[in-house]
Amino acid sequence: MLLPRWFAEALLLLLSILACSNAAFIGVNIGTDLTNMPPPSDIVTLLKSQQITHVRLYDANSHMLKAFANTSIEVMVGVTNEEILKIGRFPSAAAAWVNKNVAAYIPSTNITAIAIGSEVLTTIPHVAPILASALNNIHKALVASNLNFKVKVSSPMSMDIMPKPFPPSTSTFSPSWNTTVYQLLQFLKNTGSFFMLNAYPYYGYTTANGIFPLDYALFKQLSPVKQIVDPNTLLHYNSMFDAMVDAAYYSMEALNFSKIPVVVTETGWPSSGGGDEAAATVANAETFNTNLIKRVLNNSGPPSQPDIPINTYIYELYNEDKRSGPVSERNWGILFPNGTSVYPLSLSGGSSSAALNGSSMFCVAKADADDDKLVDGLNWACGQGRANCAAIQPGQPCYLPNDVKSHASFAFNDYYQKMKSAGGTCDFDGTAITTTRDPSKFFSFPLIYVLQ
């Protein structure tokens, strides 16, 4: 039955209001450009232990989507920048993409959003004219699968499309992108979706040539003489993050769009950088993300939209050590590739005792590892690697079961637990893998030896 237009519009408005009235969430981006990527099942176990309810994937990796099955975690999948042209030009390609990467996993996997590309206007501007078509084609494919009310579609935008974001009240989108942005906003309004924004106070601070204090970027309280005030509205901005989000709201209003919620799809702070990246430190990264989480979870919006919470995804779960570019590019993660924490952080806003860390990660032999390679790794771990292998000698508590995989797992894990904080990895020529499963539960050696 075809719904009356007024009823459909009212329903979309209601859904938008309900979405905005929910408690704010902190999600996390999961990039994959790293060595020793943990198995998807271990990533999901780690996220569940931290009560993470939302994740963003940059593609629609089947292994990851299967791992999220039968969990309550809401998943945002991504159409890659390389896929946009085909999807925008051919509705059949969009339908095939939705059928393969979304419909095939619902309802087991809780996919609730699709991000069309990433920062399309500023990274691949030649694709901009086809972006609106890609959005519409994906949405039509969702309608055909009866998934359009469950799965929302949008496209993450960079702060760079707003050339002068401060003061927020005068911010506008770059005129060169007005046509494309208008089409995007009209689509978001019509479908009850949200504006995806990648907002990085780190870059706002480092490119401002000292105009803004570091404390402002880190959510720290400013002295009365240093407080940031919009001269036109007299609204006080306690953080650069809030000002960036408000700049997006004011830019939308300049095109006569209001109340489209802003969701921050990326934000974070690098923990290390090169010689010319002095602000990229562990202390600053920990301060930023800790304060960001507190800020988001207080359920308030920015000064101009105090009733619209700022749902936010932290960039990112792991340091992507294979990324090119400045040193900071490889150091946005809250975990090292080997699973250890870069700094303590509770993504659920709890105490530091519940902080996300790698202490529950173990290193074991792969089930299909070659025995000869395992022997080489075992000998290295017990020798040059200085693992304590006394417990797996004949007659000792962890000798049984007497097979190479059990002994290698013990030695690998002993080495890993001792050396991971110094950068030691769980690889052993590709024969080892990290897991959140306690090895003492499926090998006979006692935990006291595993964690010594």
Query: What confidence category does residue 19 fall into, taking pLDDT thresholds of 50, 70 and 90?
Result: very low
Alpha-carbon span 327 to 27, nearest angstrom:
25
Average pLDDT over residues 210-225: 91
Q: What are phi and psi of 380, to 5 degrees?
A: -65, -45
Q: How far is CA 302 from CA 172, 197, 308, in A?
A: 17, 14, 8
Check 9, 74, 82, 119 and give the catalytic one: 119
* H or E element in which residue 43 lies: helix 40-49
Between helix 178-191 and helix 128-144 the angle, nearest 10°, is 10
Question: Is 253 in the active site?
Answer: no
Convert the pLDDT of each residue in 305-331 to its tens digit: 999 999 999 999 999 999 999 999 999
- Partnered with residue 197 across adjacent β-strands are 157, 264
Convert the pLDDT of each residue in 165-188 to its tens digit: 999 999 999 999 999 999 999 999
Convert the pLDDT of each residue in 27-82 to its tens digit: 999 999 998 888 999 899 888 888 889 999 999 999 999 999 999 899 999 999 99
- Give me Rg for the CA atoms of the chain: 24
Convert the pLDDT of each residue in 63-74 to its tens digit: 999 999 999 899
For residue 123, what pLDDT is reported?
96
Question: Is 266 in the active site?
Answer: yes
* H or E element in which residue 56 lies: strand 54-57
For residue 344, what pLDDT is reported?
84
Q: How many residues does the chain have?
A: 452
Q: What is the pTM of this model?
A: 0.77
Q: Quickly list DSSP for 342-408.
A: SS-B-TTS--GGG-B-STT-EEEE-TT--HHHHHHHHHHHHTTT----GGGSTTSTT--S-SHHHHH
Q: What are phi and psi of 55, to 5 degrees?
A: -135, 155
Domains of the chain: 5-354 (3.20.20.80), 362-450 (no CATH)
Query: What confidence category does residue 273 fall into, taking pLDDT thresholds of 50, 70 and 90?
Result: very high
Query: Which residue stretches of 176-234 are H helix?
Result: 178-191, 201-206, 214-217
Check 74, 266, 286, 320 and give the catalytic one: 266
For residue 439, what pLDDT is reported?
63
